[in-house]
Amino acid sequence: MSENITTAGRSLDDVMMAMDVVDTLRHRSQLVEKELGADDRDEELKKKLRKIYAAQGIEVSDQVLEEGVKALRDGRFTYQPPAESFKVKLARIYVNRGGWGKWAIGGIAAFFITLISYYFLVISPTAMLPEKIQERHKEVKLAAKIDESRGRSMADELFTVAMASLDNNDEAKAKELLNSMDALKAQLQMAYRLQIIVKPQAKTGVWRVPDTNTNARNYYIIVEAIGPDGNLVKVPIQNEETGKVDIVSSWGLRVDEEVFNRIARDKQDDGIIQDREFGIKQSGYMDPKYRISTTGAAITSW
Write b or e for each residue in 99-124: b if 16 or more Cβ atoms lie within 10 A of its Cβ, otherwise e: eeeeeeeeeeeeeeeeeeeeeeeeee
> Which residues are CB-neighbours of 32 under 8 A, at least 6 positions away?
25, 26, 72
The residue type at 77: F
Q: How far apart are CA 94 and CA 81, in angstroms?
A: 17
For residue 181, the enclosing domain spans 126-189
Q: Is the pLDDT of residue 6 over 60?
A: no
Q: How confident is the model at residue 177 (pLDDT cuts 50, 70, 90)?
A: very high
Q: Of 134, 163, 189, which marks where a domain is finished?
A: 189
Residue 262 maps to a domain: yes
Q: Are residues 256 and 281 in the same domain?
A: yes
Give 131's DSSP letter.
Answer: H
Report residue 179 CA to chain centroid gap.
22
SS3 state of residue 242 = coil
Q: Are residues 181 and 196 in the same domain?
A: no
More confident residue, 45 or 125: 45
Q: How far apart are CA 203 and CA 222, in angstroms?
A: 7
pLDDT reported for residue 87: 78
Question: Distance of CA 118 to CAs 110, 111, 215, 245, Å?
Answer: 12, 11, 61, 34
Q: Of 143, 168, 189, which marks where a domain is finished?
A: 189
Q: How far apart are CA 41 and CA 50, in angstroms?
A: 14
Q: Are residues 206 and 290 in the same domain?
A: yes
Give 232's DSSP letter.
Answer: B
Number of H helices, E strands in the chain: 11, 9
pLDDT reported for residue 121: 61
Q: Is the pLDDT of residue 13 over 70?
A: no
Candidate ranges 72-76, 106-110, 201-205; pick with highest mean pLDDT: 201-205
What is the per-residue DSSP string for 46-66? HHHHHHHHHHTT----HHHHH
Candidate ranges 59-68, 95-104, 257-266; pick with highest mean pLDDT: 257-266
How many domains in the chain? 3
Please state whether the predicted TM-score (pTM) of the whole model is above 0.75.
no
Residue 118 maps to a domain: no
Per residue in 188-243, pLDDT (tens digit) is 999 999 999 988 888 999 999 988 888 899 999 999 999 999 999 999 999 999 99
Q: Are residues 50 and 67 in the same domain?
A: yes
Give the CA diameter of the chain.
138
pLDDT reported for residue 175: 94
pLDDT reported for residue 227: 96
Q: Are residues 137 and 220 in the same domain?
A: no
Taking the CA atoms of 257, 263, 264 and 266 in sequence, report the sign of the dihedral they define: positive
Question: Distance of CA 273 to CAs 197, 219, 259, 267, 291, Å?
Answer: 9, 17, 13, 5, 15
Q: Of 189, 205, 229, which marks where a domain is finished?
A: 189
Q: How confident is the model at residue 59 (pLDDT cuts 50, 70, 90)?
A: confident
